[in-house]
Each structure stands twice: as C-alpha cells, then as structure tokens.
C-alpha cells in the first residue's frame, strides 16, 4: 500500500530552526508537496520538489531524496505565526496526491 509518514507533533522555540521529516512509500513518484494549514483554515501551498536536492524559498526550504523516499521541510528564524500543521503529500504514478496526516508545529516564545 501507499504510505506517508511524518511526526504527529513537534515543539520549537521562536527564533530557532526546526526540521519536519516525511518518508514515503508510493506507487511511482511525480513530485512531493508541502502545505501549511493553520487551525480552522484551508491548506496553502509551500513547496514542490521533483528532483533530488534542496529548494529554498525565504525562511522555508524543502529537501528531497528519491532514492531514500525522504523529504524534509526546514523552517528557519521561527515566528509565532509559523504555528500550524505541515502536510506532506506525494503525487503517485497516476498523478493522485497521497497525503500524510500532518505535523502539528507548536512554537513557544
């Protein structure tokens, strides 16, 4: 079966760096997405990786290793507004998105 694993919850301190990991086993691979979802709101797109390596976008970076079935989202200079759930999703060979359950990130002052 297809599976996306990510930690349920993480806690970090304002101003620090946090890395949220995602491992996947899917039928084929056509890219990996990260979305941010604040409580009670809709998910919003953060990043997309289809080739191995690091994609940087401001304070957020996303890394992919296809051979290891592994990705991480790196958040730098954490702000209180970064408190949210972070969803990892993989597009399989049929171009369907398989979603992880999300990682709830709690930022403490």
Partner 1 sequence: IAGITQAPTSQILAAGRRMTLRCTQDMRHNAMYWYRQDLGLGLRLIHYSNTAGTTGKGEVPDGYSVSRANTDDFPLTLASAVPSQTSVYFCASSDSGQGELFFGEGSRLTVL
Residues that bind partner 1 (CB under 8 A): 4, 8, 30-31, 33, 35, 41-45, 48, 87, 89, 91, 95-102
Least CB distance to partner 1 at residue 105 (A): 16
Annotate the chain with DSSP letters as a single string: --EEE--SEEEEETTS-EEEEEEEE-SS-S-EEEEEE-TTS--EEEEEE-SSEEEEETTEEEEEETTTTEEEEEE-S--GGG-EEEEEEEE-TTS-EEE---EEEEEE-
Least CB distance to partner 1 at residue 7 (A): 13
Least CB distance to partner 1 at residue 73 (A): 16
Cβ-based nearer residue to partner 1, 8 or 109: 8
């Amino acid at each position: 079966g297809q599976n996306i694993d990510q930690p349920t919850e993480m806690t970090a301190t304002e101003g620090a760096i946090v890395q949220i990991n995602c491992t996947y086993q899917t039928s084929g691979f056509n890219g990996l997405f990260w979305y941010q979802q604040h409580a009670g709101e809709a998910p919003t797109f953060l990043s997309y990786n289809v080739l191995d390596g690091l994609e940087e976008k401001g304070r957020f970076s996303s890394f992919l290793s296809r051979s290891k079935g592994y990705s991480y989202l790196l958040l730098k200079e954490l702000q209180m507004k970064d408190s949210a759930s972070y969803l990892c999703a993989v597009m399989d060979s049929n171009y369907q998105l398989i979603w992880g359950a999300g990682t709830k990130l709690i930022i403490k002052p």
